[in-house]
Amino acid sequence: MSSVLITGANRGIGLELARHYAADGWQVHATARDLTSATDLKAVSGNITCHALDVADRVAIRQLADKMTDPLDVVIANAGVSGRPDGGGMPGTIGDLDYEGWRDVMEINLFGAVATCEAFLPHVEKAKGKLVAISSQLASNANAFLGSYPYNSSKAALNMAMNLLAIEVKPRGIAVGTLHPGWVKTDMGGQHAPVTPSDSANGLKQVIAGLEPAERAHFVDFEGNTHPW
Ligand SMILES: NC(=O)c1ccc[n+]([C@@H]2O[C@H](COP(=O)([O-])OP(=O)(O)OC[C@H]3O[C@@H](n4cnc5c(N)ncnc54)[C@H](OP(=O)(O)O)[C@@H]3O)[C@@H](O)[C@H]2O)c1
Work out the number of other CB atoms within 10 angstroms of the CB of residue 106.
17
Strand ranges, E, within 112-192: 130-134, 175-179
Residues 6 or more apart in contact with residue 78 via CB below 8 angstroms: 6, 7, 8, 9, 13, 14, 17, 134
pLDDT reported for residue 93: 77
Give the C-alpha separation, 117 to 115, whole Å: 5
157/173 Cα distance (integer angstroms): 24
Q: How far is the CA of 152 from the centre of ligand 1 (A)?
A: 14
Pick the residue whose CA is nearest to atom 47 on ligand 1: 80
Helix (H) or strand (E) holding 119: helix 113-127
Give the model's confidence band at 145: pLDDT under 50 very low, under 70 low, under 90 confident, else very high: confident
Domains of the chain: 3-209 (3.40.50.720)
| Cβ 123 vs Cβ 167: under 8 Å | no
Query: Is the CB–ligand 1 distance for residue 134 below 6 Å?
Result: yes
Q: What is the DSSP string of 146-161?
A: SS-HHHHHHHHHHHHH
Q: Is 15 in the pocket of ligand 1 (CB under 6 A)?
A: no
CB 212 within 8 A of CB 193: no
- Distance of alpha carbon 27 from alpha carbon 34, whole angstroms: 21
- Atom 19 of ligand 1: nearest residue by CA position: 12
213 CA → ligand 1 middle, Å: 26
Q: Which of 78, 101, 84 is nearest to 184 (CA)?
A: 78
pLDDT of residue 86: 54
At 90, the pLDDT band (50, 70, 90 cuts) reads low
Q: Write the residue with the smallest CA distance to atom 5 of ligand 1.
A: 183
147 lines ligand 1 (CB under 6 A): no
CA of 215 to the centre of ligand 1 (A): 28
pLDDT tens figures, 30-40 = 999 999 999 99
Centre of ligand 1 from the C-alpha of residue 24, in Å: 23
Distance 90 CA to ligand 1 centre (A): 16
Region 70-77 average pLDDT: 98
Question: What pLDDT sits at residue 85?
Answer: 63
Question: Model pTM greater than 0.85?
Answer: yes
Ligand 1 nearest-atom number relative to CA 182: 5
pLDDT of 78 strictly over 80: yes
How far, in Å, CA of 91 to CA of 83, rounded?
A: 8
